[in-house]
Amino acid sequence: MSPPAYRASRNPGVCAARPLICKRGAPHPARPSRRHANEGSVVTSIDLPSLYLEHPDRNLALELVRATEAAAIRAWPYIGKGDKLAADGAAVDAMRLLLGTVNFDGVVVIGEGEKDKAPMLFNGEHVGNGRGPACDIAVDPIDGTSLTAAGRPNAISVMAVSDRGSMLDASSVFYMDKIVTGAEGIGVVDIRKPIGENIRALAKAKGKDVSEMKIAVLDRPRHAQLIDEIRASGAGTRLLLDGDVAGGINAARYETRTDMCVGIGGSPEGIVTACAIKALGGFIQGILRPGNDDERQRGIDAGLKMDHVYEANDLVSSDNTFFVATGVTDGGLVNGVRRKGPIIRTESIVLRSHSGTIRRIVADHQADKWL
């Protein structure tokens, strides 16, 4: 971030508009090698350190949340209307428009929409105004389009951002087997172990009885055996209709009743979740699960490793990640969009790994500006 006495101008590398009085002989905070001969000299334009220009800073989070808020608000009229493509299309258009105003050079590494031919922010698309830090982006304008269309809980608009070149591009393989826990799972659970063994080990690490453990898993036919094994261990399940990003985050947050999130879900969701987990100090592992030999070969050709356990740093190597989510429908992570007379209220959560902060943002928007 910029030094306290400065704010960056719109021209990269230049700080302007706020003068600073420098003491005699003291190195300038933004240019340590520069010295000033006269006490009281006023600096009006200097070079900022590359640190402040090349990496996303904390102010970026407030810009990103505007994009997820816009996507959630635009999707709101479609809640319960049965048209998930229309909801997703409205969210994509709103997110793309707002991202175009953000002061960064973003490239979409993980886009959403290829699986079901939905509208999308496509992989490789450049977003932002081209100035500021170079970033990788993983986007899902609506994680839970089916939930939105059906009027069910836990649909969110999400985005993750990290330094350029730090996100794994897993877009050529649509599905990933994942296991997510809080910090207690580090060095304790392993995706290669039987689920019952992992549950018992995590319960011991958390000081809980196995019967108290709650495991989140997508309610899919492919998970029938996994669900049986979870229950056979003595633990309970939290079956997710859709949207395993929120399930993974809730498994890593200390104040929730979900202890672990497991199962096969989207690989884009895995990358997004990894950005959040790094901010929460939690644990995540993933193994790519191609649906057929052709998809497997596409993944290999793209440089992906099949049957390989991807750790958090393999999924996102940067230590400066952002995760932003705004509720579309009500859920355990955030509340959904609500109309309250002349205003539209949104709730968002913003996570940053560099500072280890979790922020909740409740915003009221004038309805006549949106509808």
Beta bridge partners of 361: 348
Question: Which residues are annotated as part of the binding site?
Answer: 88, 112, 140, 143-145, 175, 220-222, 242-244, 266, 269
Annotated binding site for substrate: 143-145, 175, 220-222, 242-244, 266
Q: How far is CA 291 from CA 37, 164, 264, in A?
A: 68, 29, 11
Token pair, residue 127, equals 């977003």
Burial code (b: 16+ CB inside 10 Å, e: under 16) for 85-96 equals: ebbbbbbbbbbb
3-state secondary structure of 310: strand
Cα-based distances in Å from 250 to 42, 174, 232: 50, 23, 23
Q: Which of 312, 292, 290 is nearest to 175 (CA)?
A: 290
Distance, in Å, from the CA atom of 101 to the CA atom of 114, rounded to the nearest integer, reads 25
Long-range contact pairs involving 123-129 (C-beta distance under 8 Å, separation at least 24): 123/169, 123/171, 127/96, 127/99, 127/100, 127/102, 128/99, 128/100, 128/102, 128/103, 128/104, 129/100, 129/101, 129/102, 129/103, 129/104
Binding residues for Mn(2+): 88, 112, 140, 143, 269
The sign of the dihedral angle between the CA atoms of 183, 352, 164, 88 is positive
CA nearest neighbour of 191 among 226, 161, 239, 219: 226
Angle at 347 between CA 345 and CA 351, to 5 degrees: 155
